[in-house]
Structure 1
């Protein structure tokens, strides 16, 4: 199978495999090319090809005229390289996350991961995609204008469907609706992507990822993105929950460990922590508070970068104690899962 190198105007490059679009190759390797619909209809990923050639097996994309094609313009989400390429485009070193948009998506899957956590998969209309950075979230818009925030658990490179992890809040208006009444095929309106909690890629520091409960969702997005982009850094995952059942995708994390062991890309480790094992037998992992497990393993955090997501008490404790143990405040990123009144 052929591999093609795509050079950018600033001298950086990435590769695309035979049969892989330029955009898919870029996203797989952490290169943030502009894009929108990923169906060739919007033109957001239209770039100038300086050298080399591409083809479109399904015909000329809707957003590209024959005149533009002759001038060297190409639609990156549909273009399959036929040779090495040079693109007349450079990444902006000060690039900001994608602008939030108002969209609607259809529920295509509802999976109960535990007694109080469900996984929703949302499908955008044909021709629509949501560019986002690993770790960001969306706001579900209720009919009265109220908002409910949920992190995206899928990786940006795998954005055909959006994945949300929703914890049931007793008496919560939206979460009770999700658990009791929401059906496949229903439509949900949302705004996104939102938030400054996303993986910083301009660093080579080892990363500590701390999740509390469904704070695992953005951590999942970050890890799956790091794996897809073959990011060569150390990622230590600490997942804390009140009970064993709260570690609701334990096997998923262990599958990541098996998949990445000995391969190029991220180096992963995993420490699940349960606060109260109670009468549940068979637990062989750590017990206590998740931030304390981090500090037991890393009493000096000065060389690390930390991402913390979960309930406010956990986030507050982690922030306070991590800074006391040497973490640079500029290297601490957190997403506090505040529960809205009537959630």
Structure 2
């Protein structure tokens, strides 16, 4: 018997290893040729100190100088001493390069393309080595655009256990991926991508959660919902979805389906266009108040264009409410993906 351990590095690269309950995470990582930085193997130096964001474990033996009681209570751990009691997600305070590893490369076949509207298209991939690809719900990959020398970053809209991968793309005039999907794509095309990457992913649900999406920022939240459908949360989850026009709305039927199967899941949406037929007109900030934020006892996950992300952050600050944790990701229609996280 072994458990899966996700190692998320400072540069956003995530690698997965298998770890037996009778071996330490550091031992298992070294077997997988991933060198978590450490200066001792005795729980004395604290060099490998990491943060466990999900799962249960035995912390092992160590001295207070390496890990204080307060740090241990906050979820910090020493991979050189800890042994898993379940699957784990660890945030490692080092780059993947420092650990002598990097993102994995995968090849896939285009299985389907769906044009939701003039602004949004979705495509699905069948991966050659699907069993070897693991990711955390909310993460992304860098996809090489067929027929070009460019790559684009897209979050999974499918869940980690779904066989087929899916991605949402906002079409951009002159865009490399937009042009490929509109003009050249054919079922059976071969695609290469690297990943998974990103520090924007679903943590263990230990309190209510508020999910906020702007446009195709809905994609990683759909991946999170698929995970929650498989592992129902013990706390309520509410999703707010904002777009510019009615034609930008996608997957409302999918959200309805999740509301039927995920206990405590609810959602609402709004459209900025004053001519919209939506019940809520305006921006998602108009749907956020202290009660939506559970007076701070909430984990917030926010994904959307930079202006929307900054508007939401400013609005929450103005409310005078500080969420227990706040994870966010900004996306742009270019090759550069700016990510950030505050907890």
TM category (shorter chain) comes to 0.5 to 0.7
| Alpha-carbon separation, structure 2, partners of 1:228 and 1:243 | 32
Deviations 1:264-290 (A, max 9, x none): xx4111111011042x5xx24211011
Deviations 1:187-229 (A, max 9, x none): 111111110001110x522111010110110010111101101
Residue 216 of structure 1 aligns to a residue whose secondary structure is: helix
Alignment of 1:183-194 (within 5 A): 183-194=186-197
Deviations 1:46-81 (A, max 9, x none): 8589xxxxxxxxxxxxxxxxxxxxxxxxxxxxxxxx
Deviations 1:98-144 (A, max 9, x none): 96311111101111122221111111115653100010011112466
| Alpha-carbon separation, structure 1, partners of 2:264 and 2:283 | 24
Q: Is the 8 A contact 2:290 2:319 kept in 1?
A: no
1:331 to 325, 330, 333: 325
Q: Is the 8 A contact 1:101 1:193 kept in 2?
A: yes
Alignment of 1:206-221 (within 5 A): 206-221=208-223
Residue 286 of structure 1 aligns to a residue whose secondary structure is: coil
Q: Is structure 2 residue 134 aligned with structure 1 residue 131?
A: yes
Q: Is structure 2 residue 315 aligned with structure 1 residue 311?
A: no
| Alpha-carbon separation, structure 2, partners of 1:317 and 1:214 | 17
| Alpha-carbon separation, structure 1, partners of 2:88 and 2:130 | 29
| Alpha-carbon separation, structure 1, partners of 2:335 and 2:87 | 40
Q: Is structure 2 residue 279 aligned with structure 1 residue 276?
A: no
Deviation larger for 95-104 or 174-183: 95-104
Residue 196 of structure 2 aligns to a residue whose secondary structure is: strand
Length, aligned pairs only: 261
Distance 1:104 1:300, change over 3 A: same
| Alpha-carbon separation, structure 2, partners of 1:127 and 1:150 | 17
Q: Is structure 2 residue 151 aligned with structure 1 residue 157?
A: no
| Alpha-carbon separation, structure 2, partners of 1:119 and 1:196 | 23
Residue 107 of structure 2 aligns to a residue whose secondary structure is: strand
Distance 1:115 1:106, change over 3 A: same
RMSD: 3.3
* Aligned-pair CA distance for 1:234: 1.0
Query: Unaligned 5+ residue runs, structure 2?
Result: 7-16, 23-82, 97-101, 338-343
Residue 95 of structure 1 aligns to a residue whose secondary structure is: strand
Residue 105 of structure 1 aligns to a residue whose secondary structure is: strand
Q: Where does residue 90 of structure 1 map in the other structure?
A: 85
Distance 1:226 1:276, change over 3 A: same
Distance 1:235 1:152, change over 3 A: same
* Aligned-pair CA distance for 1:320: 1.8
Q: Where does residue 12 of structure 1 map in the other structure?
A: none
Distance 1:340 1:105, change over 3 A: same
Residue 296 of structure 2 aligns to a residue whose secondary structure is: coil
User: Please, what TM-score do these two structures have when normalized by structure 1?
Assistant: 0.67
Q: Is the 8 A contact 1:304 1:327 kept in 2?
A: no
* Aligned-pair CA distance for 1:333: 0.7
* Aligned-pair CA distance for 1:239: 0.4
Q: Is the 8 A contact 1:119 1:166 kept in 2?
A: yes
Query: Unaligned 5+ residue runs, structure 1?
Result: 1-5, 9-30, 35-43, 50-87, 261-265
Residue 257 of structure 2 aligns to a residue whose secondary structure is: helix
* Aligned-pair CA distance for 1:174: 2.0
Q: Is the 8 A contact 1:299 1:325 kept in 2?
A: no
* Aligned-pair CA distance for 1:172: 1.0
Distance 1:246 1:227, change over 3 A: same
Q: Is the 8 A contact 1:106 1:188 kept in 2?
A: yes
| Alpha-carbon separation, structure 1, partners of 2:335 and 2:196 | 22
User: Please, what TM-score do these two structures have when normalized by structure 2?
Assistant: 0.67
